[in-house]
Every structure is written in C-alpha cells, then in structure tokens.
Amino acid sequence: MCSVSSSKTSQTNHLKFHLDTGDAKPILKHPTRFMSHSDLTILRQEIDTMVSNGLLMPAVHVPGKDQRTVGGWAFPALYVNKKNGEKRLCMHFQDLNALTIQDPCPLPAI
C-alpha cells in the first residue's frame, strides 16, 4: 500500500526538525472528507501499523474542549493511484505553508 513500508522506517537522533509557525494556533480540518470507504480502511490499517512501529503518536481528544487549544494539527488527505496500481497517500498542507515563517537563510542550491 505504501511506497515505503513503515516497518522498515526507523527514528534518528541525528536531526531535529522544527517548523516555525509563530503564534498561530493549530489548524484542524477534517482529514478524511474526500476518502472512499475502501480508502478509509487502507488508511486505518496504515495508521495502526505506524503507531505500533512508533512512527506516529495518537493525538489526545478532550471532549468539550476546542481542539485548537488542546493541540494537534489535521489536514485533508486522499489516496492517488500510482502507475503500478499501488496507492500513495497525499496530504494538503497549503494552509500550513501559508502560516510557516520562511527561513531567511535557506540551503544553497548544489
């Protein structure tokens, strides 16, 4: 289902990633609005595998509280068919890109 198996992926301590969004509150959009039932089944299986391998950490849902103040970001997702028949998960990060503060010293072109 994935182009890279999440069971082969591991964590590293050689790199720390930070995305500067300033004081913006987390964006919370319905991530699976445009997915079919079969795609949702595939997504649930992939997420369960990634959580069990330690690649993802489930977000905490607090009933009655605004999720933007609790934490967590959510963006729309959909599956796109690849040429070989497998499916690739694609995320829509346009709203996050609009909030991201640009790095004044980006990496040089090699």
Cα separation, 61 vs 67, whole angstroms: 7
Count up the domains in the chain and report the number.
1
pLDDT for res 41: 92
CA dihedral sign of residues 89, 85, 47, 11: negative
Model pLDDT for residues 64-76, shown as the tens digit of each residue: 665 555 567 888 8
Q: Is residue 22 part of a domain?
A: no
Model pLDDT for residues 1-51, shown as the tens digit of each residue: 444 555 566 666 777 777 888 888 888 888 787 788 989 999 899 888 888
Could you tell me which of 68, 51, 50 has the C-alpha nearest to residue 6? Answer: 50
Q: Is residue 63 part of a domain?
A: no
Q: Is residue 40 part of a domain?
A: yes
Its domain, for residue 76, covers 27-53+72-102
Q: Is residue 2 part of a domain?
A: no
Quote the pTM value.
0.64
Q: Is residue 13 part of a domain?
A: no
